[in-house]
């Protein structure tokens, strides 16, 4: 094998081993409710009904699944104090929902500086650009109301960051926090359909504050106990 071929092969291997960021949150539009399997594939890998995956399936490594940590690592001084308190309480409720879902996962609250899932409560306005957070996952991206960014190596998630805008409506907080946390577990795609107004994955509504039905089933399928 020539030196040039060896160099190209080494470069290819290096590219394949680079960590990747999960694509920006997207949604798939469906006209009606799907089967449990169809819904799971939609939220896990952006597969349309009877179609192929548009994203890779990603999971937290098995060795970390029973001790995933989540916490607030940044709260800008101008982030409203009452909203910070609501986010803080919503994280605890979301942890309880996830741990009670039946999935093979245990999420724990952390007050350490670098949890697995890190919350950033930002002065960034709705639809503004995130900057100067020191998070390579978030800086330079737009912020609708909430955003989750995931870094994975191969099919294994290494870290996740969640940003919340100062403009979030107080009545949306519990739903947005739960949705972003579940998406940080490897279910990053939303669904757009009037048939799914009762889903945390609904692209157009932020009102669901529990894991029930196909939402919980999707998480169980992603992290089965057996």
Q: Is 62 inside a domain boundary?
A: yes
pLDDT tens track for 170-220? 999 999 999 999 999 999 999 999 999 999 999 998 899 999 999 999 999
List the CATH number of the domain containing 83. 3.40.390.10
Q: Is the pLDDT assigned to residue 224 strictly greater than 70?
A: yes
Dist CA 161 CA 139 (whole Å) = 11
The number of folded domains in the chain is 1
Phi, psi of 163 (to 5 degrees): -110, 140
Cα separation, 208 vs 158, whole angstroms: 28
Q: Is residue 7 part of a domain?
A: no
Q: 72 in a domain, yes or no?
A: yes
**161: domain range?**
20-222
Do 175 and 183 contact (CB within 8 A), yes or no?
Answer: no
What per-residue confidence (pLDDT) applies to 127? 95
Tell me the per-residue pLDDT of 80-133, one tens digit each, with 9 for 90 and over: 999 999 999 999 999 999 999 999 999 999 999 999 999 999 999 999 999 999
In a domain, 128, yes or no: yes
The DSSP code sequence of 107-160 is: EEE--SSS-SEEEEEE-PPTTEE--SSS-TTTTTSEESSEEEEEEEETTEEEEE
The mean pLDDT of the chain is 90
Residue 207 in domain: yes
Residue 2 has pLDDT above 80, yes or no: no
Give CA angle at 204 (144, 223), nearest 5°.
85
């Amino acid at each position: 094998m020539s030196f040039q071929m060896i160099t190209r092969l080494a470069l290819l291997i290096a590219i394949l081993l680079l960590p990747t960021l999960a694509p920006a949150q997207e949604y798939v539009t469906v006209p009606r409710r799907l089967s449990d399997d169809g819904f799971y594939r939609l939220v896990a890998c952006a597969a349309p009904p009877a179609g192929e995956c548009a994203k890779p399936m990603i999971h937290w490594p098995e060795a970390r699944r029973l001790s995933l940590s989540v916490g607030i690592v940044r709260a800008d001084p101008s982030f409203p104090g009452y909203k910070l308190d609501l986010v803080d309480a919503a994280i605890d409720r979301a942890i309880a929902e996830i741990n009670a879902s039946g999935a093979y996962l245990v999420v724990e609250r952390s007050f350490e500086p670098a949890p697995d899932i890190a919350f950033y409560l930002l002065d960034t306005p709705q639809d503004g650009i995130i900057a100067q957070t020191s998070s390579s996952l978030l800086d330079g991206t737009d912020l609708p109301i909430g955003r989750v960014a995931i870094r994975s190596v191969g099919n294994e998630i290494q870290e996740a960051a969640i940003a919340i805008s100062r403009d979030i409506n107080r009545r949306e907080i519990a739903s947005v926090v739960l949705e972003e946390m579940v998406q940080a577990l490897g279910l990053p795609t939303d669904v757009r359909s009037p048939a799914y107004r009762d889903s945390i994955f609904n692209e157009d509504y932020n009102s669901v504050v529990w894991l029930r039905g196909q939402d919980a089933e999707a998480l169980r399928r992603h992290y089965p106990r057996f």
